[in-house]
Amino acid sequence: MKIVMLIIATLLLSACTAMNQDFDKYGKNYRKINLHMISVGYDKQQVVTAIGDPTNAIGSKRFENGVVDVWSYEKWGAKMGFDEKEEEYWLYFLNGKLEQWGRPGDWKKEADRIYEVRFR
């Protein structure tokens, strides 16, 4: 009986380890987003070097005096069944330089506000 229990425990633990190593194959980020590694004023390449490629480009808008681009970074959590998005941050760039970042909805219509504050 002890041998059977030992074999079952070994199989269960090895399955968890195999699942953990397989997360990178899903195309989702399961690691912490290290926002402390970036600063306002970084260009896009510096941001990518510091925290990796964005998950998505949310949008881009041209104004008379510049372009605002918005990138998204996501952190996913492994759950039983479907994985869940635990965190999402949007990074706002004005003319290729990081102006601010935060969670979606932190700043309503922020692209317009960046433009107004920056070019008034």
Alpha helix stretches (DSSP H) within the chain:
2-22, 44-51, 110-119
Tell me how far apart the alpha carbons of residues 51 and 38 are, in angstroms, rounded to a whole number.
Answer: 8
- Name the residue range of residue 60's domain: 28-119
Label residue 18 by pLDDT band (50, 70, 90). very low
Q: How many domains does the chain have?
A: 1
CATH (domain of 83) = 3.30.1450.10
Q: What is the pLDDT of residues 88-107, one digit of tens each?
A: 999 999 999 999 999 987 76
Q: What is the pTM of this model?
A: 0.67
The answer to whether residue 22 sits within a structural domain is no
Confidence check: pLDDT of 23 > 80: no
